[in-house]
Structure 1
Amino acid sequence: MAIDLKSLNHNQLSDLIARAKARQEELVKEKASKLRDKINALVKAEGFGLDEVFGRAGGRGKARGKVKAKYRNPADPAQTWTGRGKRPRWFNAALSAGKKEKDLLIG
């Protein structure tokens, strides 16, 4: 199926490109689906489940529970921080005011 690209105007060419990209995406999805089915069949044939082989679906390994707060804002006891991630503003402000990390620890 040879298409004479020189005979197409701008709109026709844009439409052809859009349809070709859509078809390309369909082919990728079909191929991925077939591969997924093959992998699933192989895993089942070996007597395993997908999560046993690949881990938990939708995650990056073991789920983490909630972490207990480690620091408390002396000016507002409702504000706490676990010590993970970016430091809160109140924590940085307290350090700038001369407090030490150990002063902000929760009992």
Structure 2
Amino acid sequence: MAVKLDKMSRKELEALRADIDEAIVQRRKSEKQDALAAAQKAAAEFGFSLDELTGKKGGRGTKSSSAEPKYMNPENPTQTWTGKGRQPNWFKTAIDAGTPAEQMEI
């Protein structure tokens, strides 16, 4: 399928690019699903689930923190922070209000 790009207008070329970009995204999704299915099938042939082999728990989109919480919100003990990464709003608010960080340590 030869496309005469030099005969196309800029508008036609941009539309073609958008179509190609969308086709690439869709093909990647399809190939990813195929690869996942093949990996699950291969794992099952040996009597394992893919989650067992990869060490994942709970399926897609789960992210667990390996660090233990270091700080706890005194007003809501269910809110904790490891001390790494961005400070949560409750921590910033408490610090701004004069609460020392040591007082919020677990």
Structure-1 separation of matches of 2:29 and 2:99: 53
Gaps of 5+ in 2: none
Structure-1 separation of matches of 2:10 and 2:20: 15
Q: What percent of counterpart residues are identical?
A: 17
* 1:32 paired residue number: 32
- TM-score calculated relative to the size of structure 1: 0.62
Correspondent of 1:94 among 84, 91, 99: 99
Task: Say if 1:84 and 1:45 are closer, same or farther in 2 by CA, change over 3 A.
Answer: same
Number of matched pairs: 93
Alignment of 1:84 with 2:63, yes or no, is no
State the Cα deviation string for residues 25-69 of structure 1 (Å, max 9, x = none): 2221221121111101001111011221121123235799xx7x7
Letter matched to residue 5 of structure 1: L
- TM-score calculated relative to the size of structure 2: 0.63
SS of the residue corresponding to residue 99 of structure 2 reads helix
Structure-1 separation of matches of 2:11 and 2:81: 57
* 1:60 paired residue number: 63
Aligned-residue Cα RMSD (Å) equals: 3.5
Structure-1 separation of matches of 2:45 and 2:16: 43
Task: Say if 1:63 and 1:6 are closer, same or farther in 2 by CA, change over 3 A.
Answer: same
Larger radius of gyration: 1
State the Cα deviation string for residues 59-91 of structure 1 (Å, max 9, x = none): 235799xx7x7574xxxxx46675634343334
Structure-2 separation of matches of 1:18 and 1:29: 17
Gaps of 5+ in 1: 73-77
Where do 4+ consecutive residues of structure 1 move more than 3 Å?
60-64, 69-72, 78-85
Letter matched to residue 84 of structure 1: T
